[in-house]
């Protein structure tokens, strides 16, 4: 099945910068995160698809290869793209087993890299934390130390291929090179396999690792733990573990880069006459002065109450959006007072409700234009 275009997956243009890509990935990742969509079988696929697209488009080299050659340009089976190797390398990888151009696979190989998605709170993402994670992976067998042979014995050179991992066969005019059927390309055979790993040299284990999350991380950021991936076959070096951040939704704050946003409900009276409120920040409560005649939507900026970016720079701000709250469950006396107040407003003309007056003028002009 063909893959979707990475730009289409994240909903960005080809000219999008890293900030736009990061913002788009955060939106898609939050939408399709498996924990938020337990009953949607497609959510996990879409989340992984978005993560793969983000991984490529945020890496300048991978993105350049993808823009030039599409998915083949970032396919590890294609040598990292045509820009990363010669045509003969690609030709050998694809046709080597048939025409004799392949390379032997014997000897220790590096283990696979692993990816772990870490869900953290906004507070931990902003201030940093240390968490323990449990990672299932293939680890080097303790009994045979990765050799696959029982303790006291060792693998021997394959008698069929002489340790090359491949054998050559003559078929008519062609000399065909194939993976050795005896050692399956390893170049060695094990007469007495290790009982713990059954000759594989690796066993499945779940390890507990400590991950230090630096302050300022955001959804999509990755922490690389070198050598904490899967153990390599035949005692080869391990791969790496990439811990990818996924910041949970917060009940009060919303993050956009280094700035935080929140809505602050204010009473009708405070909005009209002014007042002072306590508002929350990630550092504690602060006083917010509400000027008279405040309207819904007005932004109050609290400087330095946002996020310090993980890669350095100035601390962002907290922007509080005022939301004027209409009083509810009024008693008879309160309703009567409001009616008298409404009547008194009628004596002040249009000056006391400029937005309403402007809106009605616009509506009137709209219908007058329709009559022409």
Which pLDDT tens digit goes with each residue over 299-335?
Answer: 999 999 999 998 888 999 999 999 999 888 999 999 9
**Average pLDDT of the chain to the nearest whole number:** 82
**Confidence at residue 68, expressed as pLDDT on a 0 to 100 scale:** 79
- pTM of the entire predicted model: 0.59
The more confidently predicted of residues 198 and 132 is 132
Reported as type and span, the H/E element at residue 179 is: strand 174-179
> Distance between CA 104 and CA 97 in Å, rounded?
10
Lowest model confidence (mean pLDDT) among 9-13, 66-70, 225-229? 66-70
The whole-number average pLDDT for the span 178-183 is 83
> Mean pLDDT lowest for which of 165-169, 203-207, 301-305, 367-371?
367-371
- Residue 143 pLDDT grade (very low, low, confident, very high; cuts 50, 70, 90): confident
> Under CATH, which number does the domain 254-371 receive?
2.60.260.20
Domain boundaries, the chain: 1-85, 254-371
Q: Read off the pLDDT of each residue in 243-254 and give the average, rounded to a whole number.
A: 94
What CA–CA distance (Å, rounded) separates 28 from 41?
Answer: 16
Residues 6+ apart with CB under 8 A from 86: none
Sign of CA dihedral 43, 48, 49, 53: positive
DSSP tag of 149: B
Token output for 246: 């996924």
CATH of 1-85, one of 1.20.1250.20, 1.10.287.110, 3.30.43.10, 1.10.10.10: 1.10.287.110
């Amino acid at each position: 099945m063909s893959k979707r275009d990475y730009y289409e997956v994240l909903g960005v243009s080809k000219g999008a910068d890293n900030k736009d890509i990061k913002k788009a990935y955060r939106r898609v990742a939050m939408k399709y995160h498996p924990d938020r969509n337990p009953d949607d079988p497609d959510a996990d696929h879409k989340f992984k698809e978005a993560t793969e697209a983000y991984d490529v488009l945020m890496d300048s080299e991978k993105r350049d290869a993808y823009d030039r050659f599409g998915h083949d340009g970032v396919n590890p089976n294609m040598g990292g793209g045509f820009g990363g190797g010669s045509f003969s390398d690609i030709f050998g990888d694809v046709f080597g087993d048939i025409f004799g151009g392949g390379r032997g696979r014997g000897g220790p190989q590096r283990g696979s890299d692993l990816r772990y998605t870490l869900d953290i709170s906004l507070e931990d993402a902003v201030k940093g934390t240390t968490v323990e994670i449990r990672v299932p992976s293939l680890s080097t067998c303790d009994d045979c130390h990765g050799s696959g042979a029982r303790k006291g014995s060792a693998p021997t050179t394959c008698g069929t291929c002489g340790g090359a991992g491949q054998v050559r066969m003559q078929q008519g005019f062609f000399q065909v090179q194939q993976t050795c059927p005896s050692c399956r390309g390893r170049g060695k055979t094990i007469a007495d396999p290790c009982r713990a790993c059954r000759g594989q040299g690796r066993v499945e284990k779940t390890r507990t690792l400590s991950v230090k999350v630096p302050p300022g991380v955001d959804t999509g950021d990755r922490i690389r733990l070198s050598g904490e991936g899967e153990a390599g076959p035949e005692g080869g070096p391990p791969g790496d573990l990439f811990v990818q951040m996924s910041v949970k939704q917060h009940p009060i704050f919303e993050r956009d880069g280094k700035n935080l946003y929140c809505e602050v409900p204010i009473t009708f009276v405070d909005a009209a006459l002014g007042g002072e409120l306590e508002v929350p920040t990630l550092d504690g409560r602060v006083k917010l002065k509400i000027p008279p005649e405040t309207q819904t939507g007005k932004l109050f900026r609290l400087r330095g109450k946002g996020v310090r970016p993980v890669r350095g720079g100035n601390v962002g701000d907290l922007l509080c959006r005022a939301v004027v709250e209409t009083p509810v469950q009024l008693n008879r006396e309160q309703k009567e007072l409001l009616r008298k107040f409404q009547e008194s407003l009628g004596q002040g003309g249009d000056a006391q409700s400029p937005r309403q007056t402007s809106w009605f003028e616009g509506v009137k002009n709209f219908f007058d234009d329709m009559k022409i």
